[in-house]
Amino acid sequence: MKKVHNTACPRNCYSTCSFKVWTEDGKVINIDPQPLNKATPEGICLKGLSYVERVNSPRRILYPLRKINGKFKQISWENALNEISEKLNHHKQKYGPQSILFYYASGMSGLLNSVSTNFWKMFGGATTVYGNLCWPAGLEATRLTLGENKHNVPWDLKNAKLILVWGKNPAESNIQQMIPIEKAQQKGAKLVFIDPRRTDSSERANLLVQPVPGTDGILALALAKILIEKDLIDRDFINKYVLGFDQFKESVLKININEASKECGVSIEFINKLANLVGTVKPMTLIPGYGMQRYTNGGQTTRCLLVLSIITGNIGKPGACWHYADLQGDIFSKIKEPLSYFPPEKPDGIFRREIATARLGEDMLRMNKPELKMAWVERGNPLSQNPDSNKIKEAFQKLDYSVVVEQFMTDTAREADIVLPAKTMFEQSDIISSYWNPYVQLRQKVIDPIGEVKPETEIYYLLAKKMGFSDSEIEKNIPSPSDESIENWLSEQIKPWPEISIEKLKEGPVLTPVLQEIAFSDFKFTTPSCKIELYSETAQEKWRVNPLPSYEKTAERKDTVENYPFNLMSPNTKNRIHSQFGNLESIKLVDPEPFATINLGDAEKKGIKEDDFIRVFNDRGELNIKVKIDASLRPGNIVIVNGYWHEEGACPNILSKGRETDMGHGTAFHDNMVDYEKIKN
């Protein structure tokens, strides 16, 4: 019998598409669009469509696997759980619970993920990480300035007259954003991109400005100076809502436009063009991407960009907003991002949270009293996704024992002693929200787990039983495996909001009950001063940065790093979400093998042609990869997209350094200078 179900995509992606999934005899067979979601009405991206393969893939891990003499062999759940519980007890008794690293990342979102933390708490604690690989610098910059992270609903973008997309490539990373962009363009809106690359998104722009990576801050400040000098600013707005404009003005007027132009590699002519558009076309929505803030200066860069929205009064109005992240859908977290990423000021004695995600390998090796002896990894693939892979590999190989819960044999799973089969999004219900569209959604269970797959909650449940925790203690922390129990647990989470119920969510996406369609339209800002803070004392106190938005040079740049003159950019591709999807046959049809993109002039200088192999290297590592030529990439840059596996020989994190951003405990892996040369056959 064919059946259709509503669900939503739980990947770490802006779009968080709603879609419908068809099943027949316990098998996922096809996917349909879900028009009820106003942000993703037309359909899901190619990755979402490839779920049909992903869930049914013959390469999925369907049974517990034990590494024996370097090879993985299928074992029973009974044996797997026995062994793991022995190891857990052993390490807890001998070295203390904090000798065990509990690591998770953003592989699958859902409220039930908190059950994992409950287990480790019940177990007596563990070592965990703080910070995040993705976006905290920008979140923190926005929080410091506007008080919270929210933006206008995605479909409001069609009301903008100027869309300034800065360092984002929505055509690949948030494809449904192209719908309101096109609508706005049909109505005559100007579309402007700032990006060293020329992407499928910027190809349709009116203007594309291509600065040197990592110098966006100075470009923004130069624009701000011109706007102030030409009096293209919204004085009323500034007077009413902005704190610190005078100090900012004083500091920004000192900027020398010639020097700024030289620093960011954008001609004065183009800086003026840009300033003129920003100053005269209203309303403007400024859409910053997440790539820029993954530099060592990421937070301050974001604050510099924010200036443009603020001094032109483009906040709190239809068509006008700072479109960074919308956390209005997250009604569940007691502590919201980015605060939840920060290490505790006072450790609770249960969880040792002293490892920075950004420095995972280095910090893991640094841990003592107790040293790390064991790791449990779920929803993540740190060996390919965190910076400085070699260090992480070293740290994992130093462990006595590790467990990885995975769907496929990833780089991290390969390093494990035991691999437990992970559920897919179709095999357990959960509730998710988005950081772009304002919906709360049910990711529905539509099939029973394939093979011997068990959802993480069930793994923990069985493990807790095996380890002899009392039924009442288990019940308090972990829902029992039945579908009914999971639904009850989820119902409990949404109880405070009568507008949302499981039944309603089954019918489709539900708008967040706290939604403000036009963010900050009440002009209430939850900063310490209750104003938009151009001048932020908190920034200075907490992060030791300039209280004003200021341009700081990145740690790695052409003139400071000897021998490595090329910026390695590692943006996202439409064909992967981080390290997921690239292993699927259907995705390989579109993207068969890893490649690096270089500029035509650079290639000619080095005698490299399309499809040649090059060696990309720096002090941290090297990789060999095929070349594609993009004559529109700014010279001096090389692009290797994020998400390639070491197994494919092309993971860019072999070259990146574990380093934190200036604020928010983000990861500055985009400060990454390299060189490359042709490999002679």
What does the binding site for another protein look like in residue numbers (CB under 8 A)? 17, 30-33, 40, 42-46, 49-50, 52, 171-172, 175-176, 178-179, 182, 185-186, 193, 198, 200-210, 265-267, 269-270, 574, 585-587, 589-590, 599-602, 604-605, 610, 629-635
Nearer to another protein, 52 or 561 (CB): 52
Nearer to another protein, 109 or 599 (CB): 599
Do 189 and 274 contact (CB within 8 A), yes or no? Answer: no
Beta carbon of residue 628, minimum distance to another protein (angstroms, whole number):
9
Nearer to another protein, 172 or 415 (CB): 172
Cis peptide before 10 (omega within 30 of 0): no
State the maximum Cα–Cα separation within the chain, in Å, rounded to a whole number: 73
3-state secondary structure of 358: helix
Beta carbon of residue 267, minimum distance to another protein (angstroms, whole number):
5
Do 390 and 621 contact (CB within 8 A), yes or no? Answer: yes
Phi/psi zone of residue 316: left (φ > 0), alpha (ψ -120 to 50 degrees), beta? left
Do 53 and 586 contact (CB within 8 A), yes or no? Answer: yes
How many of the other CB atoms lie within 10 Å of CB of 82?
13
How many of the other CB atoms lie within 10 Å of CB of 541?
10
DSSP code of 580? Answer: B
Beta carbon of residue 16, minimum distance to another protein (angstroms, whole number):
13
Nearer to another protein, 212 or 416 (CB): 212
Nearer to another protein, 19 or 351 (CB): 19
Nearer to another protein, 207 or 515 (CB): 207
Nearer to another protein, 35 or 347 (CB): 35
How many of the other CB atoms lie within 10 Å of CB of 566?
20
Do 672 and 637 contact (CB within 8 A), yes or no? Answer: no
Do 82 and 75 contact (CB within 8 A), yes or no? Answer: no
Nearer to another protein, 279 or 316 (CB): 279
Token pair, residue 240, equals: 């009413």
Beta carbon of residue 487, minimum distance to another protein (angstroms, whole number):
29
Do 548 and 248 contact (CB within 8 A), yes or no? Answer: yes
Nearer to another protein, 122 or 447 (CB): 447
Q: Return d(Cα 591, Cα 589) in angstroms, integer.
A: 6
Do 33 and 42 contact (CB within 8 A), yes or no? Answer: yes
Please choose, from the candidates 148, 128, 177, the residue with its C-alpha nearest in 3D space to the C-alpha of residue 17. 177
Token pair, residue 656, equals: 């990146």
Q: How would you list the strands of the sheet with 510-511, edge to edge?
A: 430-433, 439-443, 510-511
Nearer to another protein, 50 or 285 (CB): 50
* Residue 638 one-letter amino acid: I
Beta carbon of residue 545, minimum distance to another protein (angstroms, whole number):
31
Nearer to another protein, 182 or 452 (CB): 182
Token pair, residue 556, equals: 């790695």
Nearer to another protein, 221 or 271 (CB): 271
* Per-residue buried b or exposed e for 270-292, using 16+ beta carbons within 10 Å of the residue's own CB: bbbebbebbbebbbbbbbbbbbb
Nearer to another protein, 43 or 387 (CB): 43
Q: Return d(Cα 439, Cα 515) in angstroms, integer.
A: 9
Beta carbon of residue 600, minimum distance to another protein (angstroms, whole number):
4
Q: Return d(Cα 423, Cα 481) in angstroms, integer.
A: 13
Element (H, E) at 560: none
Please choose, from the candidates 1, 58, 4, the residue with its C-alpha nearest in 3D space to the C-alpha of residue 25. 1
Backbone angles phi, psi at 224, to 5 degrees: -60, -40
Q: Return d(Cα 173, Cα 38) in angstroms, integer.
A: 18
